[in-house]
Structure 1
Amino acid sequence: MPSPFAPHLTEIKVRGYHLDLYGHVNNARYLEFLEEARWGLTETHGSIQAFSEAGLAFVIVNININYRRAALMGEVLVIETALKKLGSRSGVIHQRVMLKGSDTVIADADVTFVLFDTAKGTAISMDEAARELFATVPVWSAEA
């Protein structure tokens, strides 16, 4: 897997429709921001076609998110996304939402996923062939 640490980056500008009645990004919107960044990671470092050809789906089973600071109208957020862990039955992608141009953390999340065999209708173990699908995905550095 790639080294040194270089997460996939996604920029999102906070728009009015992202805000709640308190004038900051609604907590549920962060899940959409994180999903957008994971799609970007997959498009850049993976292949939805390869998953489809293998009869696999990438399924989110848990998201643990920490909200650190409110994001406000007009701010530009940078979402860092990388693989944190690849276990025998699941994996974890770590994502960090930063205020662009600063070291301010807006939110961070660990997103647990499984590979789902679409023909069998069940999650599968991460065998060598499944692990190969993640060979080019950036890995989260312990120092990050």
Structure 2
Amino acid sequence: MNDELKTRKGFWRGPVQHAIELTAEERHIDMFGHVNNAWYIAWAMDCAWAHSDALGLDYAAYERIGVGCVVRHHEYTYYASALAGDQVAVGTWIARNDGRMRMIRAIEMRRMSDGQLLVAGETEFVAISIKSGKPARMPAEYAHLYAPPDDLGS
């Protein structure tokens, strides 16, 4: 399902490297009758972790290496609302990675039934030492595996 979803022609604006599909449930709905904005951020992080896991960089790998990537900043634009029962596709790709401490992960969310863009944005991650919580140099393994799509052939 993931490969078919991430390569769907004309569906995504960006070069999606990983995608998940989920259903908006009643628990996601707020008093305005649509998915609350906090859920979109949670879904973005679910997709980010699923991508990292697929790359072999799950939390156990972070612990083994001693360095993890944590959120520094989110910047999202909300275009339309998802409603209870909507199937939502969440796609992600690495937009930039300086290979030292910082990477930017792009996110796009679309309603499956009509392809409507719901949310698009970016999250900035920084590398930290798991022991100290202080900034740390990104391991070469991270720089390689968390490469933007344009860099994957190099």
Determine helix, strand or coil for the equivalent of 1:108. strand
Q: What is aligned with 1:135?
A: 144
CA-CA distance at 1:34 after TM superposition = 0.8
Cα distance, 1:102 vs structure 2: 3.6
Alignment of 1:1-144 (within 5 A): 5-48=15-58, 49-87=60-98, 88-126=100-138, 130-137=139-146, 139=148
- When residues 82 and 139 of structure 1 are mapped into structure 2, their CA distance, relative to the original with a 3 A threshold, is same
Uncovered stretches (5+) of structure 2, i.e. residues with no partner: 1-6, 8-14
TM-score, with length taken from structure 1: 0.83
TM-score (norm 2): 0.78
The answer to whether the 8 A contact 1:14-1:75 is kept is: yes
Letter in 1 for 2:94: L
- Cα distance in 2, alignment partners of residues 106 and 15 from structure 1: 16
The higher-RCO structure (CA 8 Å, 6+ apart) is 1
Amino acid at match of 1:80: G
Gaps of 5+ in 1: none
Matched position secondary structure for 2:81: coil
Deviation at 1:136? 3.6
Contact 2:128 2:137 in 1 (8 A): no
Cα distance, 1:138 vs structure 2: 6.5
Greater helix share, 1 or 2?
Answer: 2
CA gap of 1:84–1:20, structure 2 versus 1, over 3 A, is: same
Identity %: 19
- CA distance in 1: counterparts of 2:146 and 2:129, whole angstroms: 21
Aligned length: 135
1:22 shift after superposition: 1.3
